[in-house]
């Protein structure tokens, strides 16, 4: 009798937790934390969800991806059905396995989302106004006073940085070291976020890479990614990407972050069977394309 009472009590508690209001609020919180780069707070939520049992620090984009796939409001019907199924089956342990949301909601109540109008100077500022609709090229002219400093094509003062150069600098601290490009073929996970990369030369050698983070760079052309057919996770947020045609050649891609780029067409993603998550915040994606992605079972954030 006690077990049956425990079963009903837990089912009632979880039914009150798994609501559209709670999942929508939690999702908004996670998005705000990720946008502010409050990565430690996102990691706390991930730990409360039981998704980092070894206590290791989670990769920021992967943590966001996991939380969004777990608690996105689109999953509410699934969770409600599962709760009822477990109750009918008398599966107390199964219900306990869904109690992670209770811990996450409790943790969320203790987190403060910082009020920042802009957490960092975004790389995509005024990007839409700089794109010529006919040519797809970037118009970098502006009304600022000319500078004597050498500028790149975006008017940036920072030096040009290729993917391979950024890898050498991050790994060895300088660019003078001699490295065979074939070394990249042995890497499963690569994080070169926030490295000032504007040229993907060298990335074509990463043929065995499954997770690649290139967020917060200055990348415009991603055509060289088309050969990385083992990629499962690709993070390109906060760059200057306009066209994503190369991604259609990545058959195993599951998670894609193209947030805060100049992307306005998701057509290349329509036939990607394994793609389950797309972060397209800050992109001007037509509503019909968003709906089509959802109809094919992809969780998309806009």
Label residues 12-42 b or e (16+ Cβ within 10 Å = b). Answer: eebeebbeeebbeebbebbbbbbbbbbbebb
Residue pair 68/49 in contact (Cβ under 8 Å)? The answer is: no
pLDDT per position in the chain (302 positions), as tens?
457 788 899 999 999 999 999 999 999 999 999 999 899 999 999 999 988 744 445 588 999 999 999 999 999 999 999 999 999 999 999 999 999 999 999 999 999 888 765 444 444 444 444 444 444 444 444 433 434 444 444 445 456 899 999 988 888 776 676 777 778 898 999 999 999 999 999 999 999 999 999 999 999 999 999 999 999 999 999 999 999 999 999 999 999 999 999 999 999 999 999 999 999 999 999 999 999 999 999 999 99
CATH 3.80.10.10 fits domain 150-301: yes
pTM above 0.95, yes or no: no
Q: Which one, of 147, 172, 166, lies nearest residue 213 by Cα?
A: 166
Structural domain boundaries in the chain: 2-109, 150-301
Note the pLDDT of residue 113. Answer: 87
């Amino acid at each position: 009798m006690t077990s049956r009472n425990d079963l009903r009590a837990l089912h009632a508690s979880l039914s009150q937790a798994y609501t559209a209001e709670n999942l929508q609020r939690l999702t908004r919180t996670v998005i705000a934390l990720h946008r502010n780069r409050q990565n430690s707070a996102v990691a706390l939520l991930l730990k409360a969800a039981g998704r980092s049992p070894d206590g290791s620090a989670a990769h920021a984009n992967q943590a966001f991806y996991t939380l969004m796939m777990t608690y996105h409001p689109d999953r509410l019907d699934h969770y409600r059905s599962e709760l009822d199924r477990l109750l009918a089956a008398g599966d107390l342990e199964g219900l306990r396995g869904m109690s992670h949301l209770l811990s996450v909601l409790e943790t969320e109540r203790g987190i403060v989302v910082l009020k920042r109008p802009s957490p960092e100077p975004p790389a995509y500022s005024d990007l839409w106004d700089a794109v010529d609709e006919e040519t797809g090229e970037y118009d970098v002219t502006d009304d600022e006073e000319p500078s004597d400093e050498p500028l790149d094509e975006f008017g940036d003062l920072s030096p040009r940085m290729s993917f391979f150069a950024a890898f050498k600098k991050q790994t060895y601290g300088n660019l003078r070291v001699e490295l065979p490009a074939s070394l990249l073929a042995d890497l499963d996970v690569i994080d070169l976020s926030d490295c000032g990369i504007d040229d993907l030369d060298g990335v074509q050698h990463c043929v065995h890479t499954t997770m690649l983070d290139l967020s917060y760079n200055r990348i415009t052309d991603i055509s060289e990614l088309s050969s990385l057919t083992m990629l499962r996770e690709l993070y390109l947020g906060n760059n200057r990407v306009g066209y994503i045609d190369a991604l259609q050649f990545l058959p195993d891609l599951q998670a894609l972050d193209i947030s805060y780029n100049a992307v306005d067409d998701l057509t290349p993603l329509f036939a990607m069977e394994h793609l389950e998550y797309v972060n397209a915040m800050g992109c001007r994606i037509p509503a019909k394309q968003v709906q089509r992605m959802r109809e094919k079972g992809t969780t998309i954030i806009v």
